[in-house]
Structure 1
């Protein structure tokens, strides 16, 4: 198991490993694959990957949970990601029976990003499971990703069952205001305070090293004045992946989590923990 390379007056020996130790690529016939639109998987990844934990020691959170099941008479795939401070959940509907994956599988971050790279949204792809691997087949590529052998937290317990109040916002104007707030933010001062008052929402971000930013946008709100603080980048991440004109912001009171979702359907939501203000 040594590779020898020589050229003129140079000579190298590079140790190798036995070829039989390399993971075998199973033949197509050995894997039960199911057809799905590439756009569905890509959208699931786009709407959840930002919430994965970056700490590789937390291996069960350093990836996404993929579940399959039914929603009424429709087959669906559900993808979930969380880093402990926020949680993103997205659903995609398929015409074919969903994968039989029991309590769900955890696809690691690196493997998930490779899956995203090989998918063409305009094409159908095939997905399946083979032993402890997630298999994706495109017209040109067969990719096998080893799964994370760990338990994923019960994310359903995190989804708020009670909300302080709900407000519908114009996605574009709110997102652009948040991005302008982020100009004065930093790793140390990354918060934005949202002040809800009758007919308006005031955004404020203060950074002792850079300065202060304040903006107001019109909203349909008639309740009491409420102040909530959030990580501005978490807010931007959650809203950027929505492709609808309006969002619904369910604001938790005090230190209870808040929820951002699409106005037209319930195929996506993001839960964000507030900051102390």
Structure 2
């Protein structure tokens, strides 16, 4: 095999592909990228057995061939080569090595045979639809922070993508929760998604898809079945297993009857929470919201380090209320509010709070209170 390829193209492609490869692997072949050269293109493929990324780039090929090389070392070599260089990659099957040449630089890497490389067989996909990259990015950005990292509740370790009805309109909805907070974002149901199964897309897959979005005007082809999902954008194909579990019924968690409404300037609120939480303990991170009349008093009291308070002018005309939240969770949600005004719909110190943009929008958030 002999391939000549532009450094910039190879680096960009390796950037998409090498991240899938875990740095610690008990199975040696999983530390490698499969490179296949044929008919004027170089195809790169990486997998961790749950997730597979495949990308093809233009290259001069003569003769064709395939082998596998250590992913992170290959990426680091290409990254450190000079801008604008032409890279020549050569492999001879009998010696089990790959040679990389660019200018006066020459590297030789140990390879493993292509035949050892696993294939994530996607099987038949039952549904497929197209989605603008900008819409998919928003679905991920608005919900990803609420994905649970608790491995014992594995069915919460991803985004639940499913169809739903809002105001008699069919929607494609993304939901994530870790039991303390819930994030929901929806868009009108794309053509082809009707009747699709509800699927849980794993956290790692969500992160990799997010990194593939470089142009919000581009379009994704999304194909899925009950077991797998495939995202295609340009020359990149990402295939992933889905989380094999049942996402809990989250509808009862969303409070619909909260009668106390607080309207606050989003930026002022975010900065004030950030300031007072400076003295909060790492473990508790509790911030108290005291509401009375048109005034909100934020306070943190940490016996080990001190206390902080800050007052804000707000729109609030219900009964006085004291309620506590985890400041980190509050900041995560506040950062997702697009408009100038955040609306918090509250009930009592022990009930969940609904947080939205003033105009409602496509996103809503639920936050469980803390004792303070």
Give TM-score scaled by structure 2 length.
Answer: 0.66
2:208 corresponding residue in structure 1: 114
Q: Residue deviations 1:198-222, cap 9 Å, x none?
A: 1100000122333211100001223
Which string of whole-angstrom CA distances, capped at 9 and with x for unpartnered residues, describes residues 75-121 of structure 1?
A: 4211111111111111123553435323x110111111111111232
Per mean C-alpha deviation after superposition, the further-off stretch among 182-191 and 66-75 is 66-75
What residue in structure 2 maps to residue 233 of structure 1? 328
CA distance, structure 2, for counterparts of residue 13 and residue 141 of structure 1: 24
TM-superposition CA deviations, 1:163-184 (whole Å, max 9, x none): 1411211111111111112212
Contact 1:70 1:76 in 2 (8 A): yes
Q: Structure 2 unaligned segments of length 5 or more: list them.
A: 1-27, 30-67, 69-94, 99-109
* Contact 1:76 1:98 (C-alpha < 8 Å) held by counterparts: no
The root-mean-square deviation of aligned C-alpha atoms, in Å, is 2.9
Provide structure 1 residue ranges, at least 5 long, that are not aligned to the other structure.
Answer: none
TM-score (norm 1): 0.87
Structure 2 contact 176–184 (Cα < 8 Å) conserved:
yes
Cα contact 2:129–2:190 (8 A) shared by 1: no
Shift of the 42–177 alpha-carbon distance from structure 1 to 2, 3 Å rule, reads same
Contact 2:321/2:349, CA 8 A, preserved across alignment: no
Label 1:5 to 1:210 Cα distance change in 2 as closer, same or farther (>3 A).
farther
What is the deviation of 1:18? 4.3
In structure 2, the CA distance between the partners of 1:33 and 1:97, relative to structure 1 (3 Å rule), is closer
SS in 2 for 1:160: coil
Which of 259, 267, 275 aligns to 2:354? It is 259
Deviations along 1:57-82, one digit per CA (max 9) or x if unpaired, are 32101111101245457542111111
Report the equivalent of 2:106: none
Q: Distance in 1 between matches of 2:347 and 2:115?
A: 55
Give the corresponding residue for 2:258. Answer: 163
CA contact (8 A) 1:75 1:98 kept: no
207, 212, 217: which one aligns with 2:307: 212
SS at match of 2:211: helix
CA deviation vs aligned residue, 1:118-149 (integer Å, no higher than 9, x gap): 12322121112146111111012111111011
Q: Please report how far the alpha carbon of residue 5 of structure 1 lies from its aligned counterpart in structure 2 after TM superposition.
A: 5.0
Is residue 22 from structure 1 mapped to residue 119 from structure 2 by the alignment?
Answer: yes
Going from structure 1 to structure 2, the CA distance change for 1:142 and 1:166 (only over 3 Å counts) comes to same
In terms of mean alpha carbon deviation, does 196-205 or 93-102 score higher?
Answer: 93-102
Aligned to 2:290: 195
